[in-house]
Amino acid sequence: MALSNNNNLVNPSTSGNYSLPATVPDAREEEENDLPNLVRQVSILQTDKVLRDHDNKQICAERVETISNCYAEILNSLGEDIHRQGLLKTPKRAAEAILFFTKGYEQAVSDVVSDAVFDEECDNMVVIKDIDIFSLCEHHLVPFFGKVSVGYLPNKKVIGLSKVARIVEVFSRRLQVQERLTREIAEAVKEAVDPRGVGVIVECV
């Protein structure tokens, strides 16, 4: 579970989205005191990297071919005959499948949020429960799947309910660990609507 509010800054040492010096010289103590302010300016919506969103058809075809060759090598290494009928198209199918399973790399969170943030005087907690997710563990490339629930306390702004599910999908359709996935969802919602607080629960197997 990830909890975030305006008084609680995510520790930069545990976040893959921050790049800060490991040490700060003693002579620069004032700059060291300013580091939290620098971290707050990092945008998970705007700095999100989209690897494949604007690739042309030729680049996409080359990517499929490269990954297909890798899968062919894997099958050979397993002792299989990739020329037998049942495996003739398997490398290409597997390549297309892995690209589909990781389609989150094709999407920028800022594009997903888009213009779906609205001014609204709302004091009640907004909760979106049981959002289905499917992801791949980055350590073994095996699937994990389950449910995500997101809740936040609005601060004069709300985000379209369907967009919360889209945010979850973008981050889950990448190579992940549940801890980072939980944090990224919370940070994206926090930045999108600046709520008084946000909580995310991920339950997967």
Q: How many CB atoms lie within 10 A of CB 137?
A: 14
The parent domain of residue 75 ranges over: 51-105
Confidence (pLDDT) at 37:
45
pLDDT confidence of 59, banded at 50, 70, 90?
Answer: confident
Do 188 and 114 belong together in one domain?
yes
> What average pLDDT does the segment 186-195 reach?
93
Confidence (pLDDT) at 38:
43
81: CATH: 1.10.286.10
Do 77 and 157 belong together in one domain?
no
> What average pLDDT does the segment 43-60 reach?
70
Model confidence, pTM: 0.73
Do 100 and 120 belong together in one domain?
no
Mean pLDDT of the chain, nearest integer: 81
Do 128 and 55 belong together in one domain?
no
- Does the structure show a pLDDT above 70 at 145? yes
Distance of alpha carbon 119 from alpha carbon 81, whole angstroms:
60
Query: DSSP of 24-45, one letter per residue?
Result: --GGGHHHHHHHHHHHHT--TT
The answer to the question of residue 39 being in a domain is: no
Closest Cα to residue 182, out of 135, 123, 142?
135
Give every CB contact of residue 177 below 8 A, 6+ residues apart in sequence. Answer: 137, 138, 139
Q: How many CB atoms lie within 10 A of CB 38?
A: 12
The answer to the question of residue 74 being in a domain is: yes
The answer to the question of residue 37 being in a domain is: no
Name the domain count of the chain: 2
The answer to the question of residue 1 being in a domain is: no
Query: DSSP of 86-113, one letter per residue?
Result: GGTTHHHHHHHHHHHHTGGGG--HHHHH
- Per residue in 74-92, pLDDT (tens digit) is 999 999 999 999 999 999 9
pLDDT confidence of 114, banded at 50, 70, 90?
Answer: confident
Task: Please give the angle made by the CA atoms of 81, 87 and 89, to the nearest 5 degrees.
Answer: 135
> What average pLDDT does the segment 175-195 reach?
94
The answer to the question of residue 85 being in a domain is: yes
pLDDT confidence of 174, banded at 50, 70, 90?
Answer: very high
- Does the structure show a pLDDT above 80 at 7? no
pLDDT confidence of 39, banded at 50, 70, 90?
Answer: very low
Do 190 and 138 belong together in one domain?
yes
Least confident of 24-33, 85-94, 114-123, 150-159: 24-33
